[in-house]
């Protein structure tokens, strides 16, 4: 992996609101990102070192979780799981800039990876699906903000003229 690709991956890993879990070639969980802890309320210490089957069993039955597994071209990893939950994008307490920064950073990081790496077609398709989901998240966040501002304008009596 080139230095640029490694940096892009590091940014996507750290700031991605989706949970990400890396499985090493021995089939053990070797890393989780902060998004995983937010999405699942499971600490890194609880899953690092367990095998992939036990990891899947631990998440089975958690309401609202979605798992996607990709097999990266990076030889030191067997798989990366993307974990999403309904609460991953709780925007109530964040300003709009912070709310949009996470999915935008994720989109940027995945585009960098697609641009700099030669993935097989299935992995490329999986990454593109994740990108599309992140674009949808940004669209929904923007729509939420616009709707809340329209309500605010209606409640204050201000009128917007065209």
**pLDDT tens digits, residue range 92-122?**
445 566 667 777 777 887 788 888 888 889 8
Range(s) of the domain holding residue 139: 1-17+89-156
96 lies in a domain?
yes
Would you say residue 162 has pLDDT above 60? no
- The predicted structure's pLDDT at residue 99: 65
Q: For 50-91, what is each residue's pLDDT tens digit?
A: 999 999 888 877 767 778 888 877 778 888 888 876 454 444
Total domains, the chain: 2
Last residue of a domain, one of 43, 66, 87: 87
Q: What is the pTM of this model?
A: 0.56
The helix (H) or strand (E) run that includes residue 30 is: strand 29-32
In sequence order, what are the beta bridge partners of 77?
24
Q: Is-contact 107 131, C-beta < 8 A?
A: yes
């Amino acid at each position: 992996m080139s230095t640029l690709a490694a940096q892009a991956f590091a940014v996507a890993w750290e700031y991605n609101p989706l949970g990400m879990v890396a499985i090493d070639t021995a089939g053990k969980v070797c890393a989780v990102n902060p998004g995983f802890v937010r999405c699942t309320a499971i600490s890194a210490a609880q899953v690092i070192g367990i095998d992939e089957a036990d990891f899947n069993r631990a998440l089975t039955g958690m309401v609202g979780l979605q798992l996607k597994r990709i097999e990266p071209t990076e030889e030191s990893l067997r798989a990366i799981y993307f974990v999403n939950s309904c609460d991953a994008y709780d925007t109530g307490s964040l300003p709009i800039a912070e709310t949009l920064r996470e999915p935008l950073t994720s989109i940027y990081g995945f585009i960098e990876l697609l641009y700099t790496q030669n993935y097989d077609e299935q992995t490329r398709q999986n990454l593109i699906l994740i990108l599309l989901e992140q674009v949808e998240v940004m669209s929904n966040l923007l729509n939420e903000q616009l709707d809340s501002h329209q309500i605010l304008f209606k409640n204050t009596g201000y009128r917007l003229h065209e």
